[in-house]
């Protein structure tokens, strides 16, 4: 039932206005959602090796963290840092996830049901996306 309610809110690439997030969704996130294996490992590998049009000569530094072990005091991150947060749908962790994405240092947050991605681009407007497979 939780997955069904999530999918009602979740979007795909259609109507996505951020060129960076559109490219990230179509080139990295959605292909990973269609593969078998642990999603966090797939995304971490793809993001670490991603060389997209909007980010030429750039490399993400991806850290996988379980939300229950995450301390919000450690949000002093750089633009190239990406936090991949696991277990955000556990009942005790969902409120913590919502609080985390409201933090002013987080500029782009992407929710993928069981995990979330956090980006720290200082010049980007604050945005939150909820994605599903397309």
SS (H, E, C) the chain: CHHHHHHHHCECCCCCCCHHHHHHHHHHHHHHHCCCCCHHHHHHHHHHCCCCHHHCCCCCEEEEEEHHHCCHHHCCCCCCEEEEEECCCCHHHHHHHHHHHCCCCCCEEEECCCEEEEECCCCCCCEEEEECCC
pLDDT the model gives residue 41 = 93
Instruction: Specify the pTM.
Output: 0.83
Which residue has better confidence, 115 or 73? Answer: 115
Percentage of residues in the chain having pLDDT higher than 70: 76
Confidence of residue 57 (pLDDT cuts 50, 70, 90): low
Which residue has better confidence, 42 or 21? Answer: 42
């Amino acid at each position: 039932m939780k997955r069904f309610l999530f999918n009602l809110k979740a979007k795909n690439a259609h109507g996505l206005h951020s060129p960076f997030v559109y490219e990230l969704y179509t080139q990295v996130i959605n292909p990973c959602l269609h593969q078998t294996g642990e999603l966090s490992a797939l995304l971490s590998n793809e993001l670490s090796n991603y060389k997209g049009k909007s980010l030429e000569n750039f490399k993400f530094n991806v850290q996988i963290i379980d939300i229950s072990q995450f301390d919000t005091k450690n949000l002093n991150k750089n633009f190239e840092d990406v936090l991949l947060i696991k277990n955000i749908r556990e009942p005790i962790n969902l409120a913590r996830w919502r609080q985390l994405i409201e933090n002013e240092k987080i500029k782009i947050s992407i929710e993928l049901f069981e995990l979330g991605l956090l980006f720290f681009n200082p010049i980007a407007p604050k945005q939150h996306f909820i994605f599903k497979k397309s």
